[in-house]
Amino acid sequence: MAKPISIEVWNPSGKYRVVSTKSMPGTRWIRLLTDNNCRLEICTEAKTILSVDDILALIGDRCDAVIGQLTEDWGEVLFSALKRAGGTAFSNMAVGYNNVDVEAANRNGIAVGNTPGVLTETTAELAASLSLAAARRIVEADQFMRAGLYEGWLPHLFVGNLLKGQTVGVIGAGRIGSAYARMMIEGFKMNLIYYDLYQATRLEKFVTAYGQFLKANGEQPVTWKRAATMEDVLREADVISLHPVLDKTTYHLINPERLAIMKKEAVLVNASRGPVIDEVALVEHLKANPMFRVGLDVFEDEPYMKPGLADMKNAVVVPHIASASKWTREGMATLAALNVLGKIKGYPVWGNPNQVEPFLNESATPPPACPSIVNAKQLGW
């Protein structure tokens, strides 16, 4: 017999049963569900990652919808169980859905929601933070200070890299990559080289205009260049930030050969998806090149790091916190709740999932729509 799963119940008499596999930031998402006749059950198990069996127990015999997390394995087993329980909707509290077998959801008629439109700036800020922390050796210096090792100023103590006037490289100049580039260009007057399958026209226009502004004020103008190949970015840039999607073509995008062509004192940042970097190769490169630095928010086998990475002083590592600003996480919870509520209520899908501000205005009633359903077309919606 399965062990009972501990839950917190809101609006026990609600008509629609919605399960959230984790407590989420804020309270607005709770009110939106309970004010719309939903019985909300929030899992309170003291486990970081729920197993498939745990989630099966939460779904039970009757469940209209589930809000889940990107650490969970949503495939045929869970979607078929949700269908048998009468469910029609699932939403990740994440923009990514690599943990979701969308085809399995399609087979079972389950709408799959995600939460884009609220992560752009906060993720870009974290990538910029990692860039600065790695370049200026902030984590090393912090640990040194806390260990009581500081005895006075020294000329060579924690000398790092100046960013001003250097070249920032962006691989994947979509919304997040472009926002990151703007922060680095405007903040540190860095030149830009980027690689993307599509031309980033708005980003190019921004850099051109900012360069003209600097020149008009007697400063060195910044420049931009769209690279013909990814290798061009890796060779030329002093700081490289990765912002690709994760698919077969980007798995181990950064491998031993590409690490070898980067500058010896380059800074590599990844706040996109862990498997775009061959982490074993990265550890070896860090060992062989002590002035090469890396800032990582994601990992190849998350939540684990490859052996040796934690020992590298030239690596700044944080636990997948790119979206961890209060506004963003509360917004993600709201969008996830509205995705499943919209399906329950029979609402249409919102026209542009990257323009979700109307759903986040706390002083107004959200539009009667699902903010973002990734398989809407497949379900004939």
For the stretch 299-321, pLDDT in tens is 999 999 999 999 999 999 999 99
**3-class DSSP state of 293:** strand
Same domain, 334 and 291: no
Same domain, 14 and 158: no
**If we measure between CA atoms, which residue out of 366, 261, 274 comes closest to residue 36?**
366
CB atoms within 10 A of CB 62: 10
CB atoms within 10 A of CB 214: 14
Please work out, in degrees rounded to the nearest 5, the angle formed at the alpha carbon of residue 52 by the alpha carbons of 319 and 83.
120
Structure token digits, residue 47: 């486990």
Same domain, 284 and 247: yes
Same domain, 186 and 251: yes
pLDDT of residue 373: 98
Contact 231, 257 (CB under 8 A): no
pLDDT of residue 2: 52
Residue where a domain stops, chosen among 317, 344, 362: 317
**If we measure between CA atoms, which residue out of 287, 245, 279, 285 comes closest to residue 263?**
285
d(CA 98, CA 244): 13
d(CA 105, CA 78): 9
239-242 and 167-171 beta bridge pairing: parallel
Q: Which domain holds residue 131?
A: 120-317
Rounded average pLDDT over 66-75: 97
Structural domain includes residue 178: yes
Look over the chain and give the mean of its residue pLDDT values, rounded to a whole number.
96
User: Which string of DSSP letters, residue by residue, matches 61-118?
Assistant: S--SEEEE-TTS-BSHHHHHHHHHTT--EEEESSS--TTB-HHHHHHTT-EEE--TTS
Torsion of CA 67, 73, 74, 77, to 10 degrees: -120
Residue 268 clears pLDDT 70, i.e. is over it: yes
235 is catalytic: no
Rounded average pLDDT over 261-279: 97
**If we measure between CA atoms, which residue out of 348, 342, 378, 338 comes closest to residue 117?**
338
The CATH number of whichever domain residue 79 belongs to comes to 3.40.50.720
Structure token digits, residue 367: 């539009």
Structural domain includes residue 307: yes
Same domain, 148 and 214: yes
Same domain, 162 and 265: yes
Number of domains forming the structure of the chain = 2
d(CA 241, CA 236): 13
Fill in the amino acid letter for 164.
Answer: K
Same domain, 301 and 346: no
Using 50, 70 and 90 to split pLDDT, how confident is the model at 235? very high
**3-class DSSP state of 215:** helix
Q: Phi and psi dihedrals of 106, rounded to 5?
A: -60, -45
d(CA 44, CA 53): 15
Structure token digits, residue 41: 């059950």
285 is catalytic: no
Same domain, 261 and 356: no
pLDDT tens digits, 347-380: 999 999 889 999 999 999 999 999 999 999 999 9
Fill in the amino acid letter for 123.
Answer: T
Same domain, 43 and 135: no
pLDDT tens digits, 24-70: 999 999 999 999 999 999 999 999 999 999 999 999 999 999 999 99
Secondary element (H or E) of residue 135: helix 120-135
Q: Which of 243, 258, 273, 293 is catalytic?
A: 273
Using 50, 70 and 90 to split pLDDT, how confident is the model at 1? very low
Secondary element (H or E) of residue 332: helix 326-345
Same domain, 102 and 167: no
Structure token digits, residue 240: 């490289």
pLDDT of residue 225: 98
Structure token digits, residue 207: 């850099």
Structural domain includes residue 31: yes
Structural domain includes residue 49: yes
pLDDT tens digits, 128-151: 999 999 999 999 999 999 999 999
**If we measure between CA atoms, which residue out of 284, 292, 295, 290 comes closest to residue 255?**
284
Structural domain includes residue 365: yes
d(CA 57, CA 63): 11
Task: Name 19's bridge partners.
Answer: 41, 66
Using 50, 70 and 90 to split pLDDT, how confident is the model at 261? very high
Structural domain includes residue 270: yes
Same domain, 345 and 267: no
pLDDT of residue 354: 86
167-171 and 191-195 beta bridge pairing: parallel
pLDDT of residue 126: 98
Structural domain includes residue 245: yes
Structural domain includes residue 2: no
Contact 176, 124 (CB under 8 A): yes
Our measurement of the distance from residue 103's CA atom to the centroid of its chain's CA atoms, rounded to an integer in Å, reads: 23
pLDDT of residue 149: 98
pLDDT tens digits, 170-227: 999 999 999 999 999 999 999 999 999 999 999 999 999 999 999 999 999 999 999 9
320 is catalytic: yes
Using 50, 70 and 90 to split pLDDT, how confident is the model at 124? very high
Same domain, 112 and 254: no
